[in-house]
Amino acid sequence: MSEAKTRIDETVKANDVVLYMKGTKEMPQCGFSSRVAGVLNYMGVDYTDVNVLADDEIRQGIKDYSDWPTIPQLYVKGEFVGGCDIITEMTLSGELDTLFDENKVGYNKDAADKIREANA
């Protein structure tokens, strides 16, 4: 395994929720990363953010690791969940709540409900 893949594997397995994104959770650097970080931030999820713009090896490595061509990428309990479109759909359908509940990831249920109400 390459050094980048080893670092990714260790990060994904050591943290309950990881978002590989362009920028940081405080300052996203693209609209798709901003949307996913915004959902997680609003829902009060405790997650680790990895700025792929800071490391070209990680930027390519995460695409190889997941066999998914785009960023952002969300991982929960070591499993790849999806990118922006998938996370948006899961948020609006309530599937993200279920995933968090099943994996004992803390989040604000009222905030999740408000996101759905605002997008109904």
Domain count, the chain: 1
User: Residue 88's domain is classified under what CATH number?
Assistant: 3.40.30.10
Whole-prediction pTM: 0.96
The 10s digit of each residue's pLDDT in 25-78 is: 999 999 999 999 999 999 999 999 999 999 999 999 999 999 999 999 999 999
What 55-62 contacts at long range (C-beta under 8 Å, 24+ apart), as own/partner pairs, is: 55/4, 57/2, 57/3, 57/4, 58/4, 58/7, 58/8, 58/20, 60/4, 61/2, 61/4, 61/5, 61/7, 61/8, 62/8, 62/20
Query: Containing domain of residue 32, as a range?
Result: 3-118
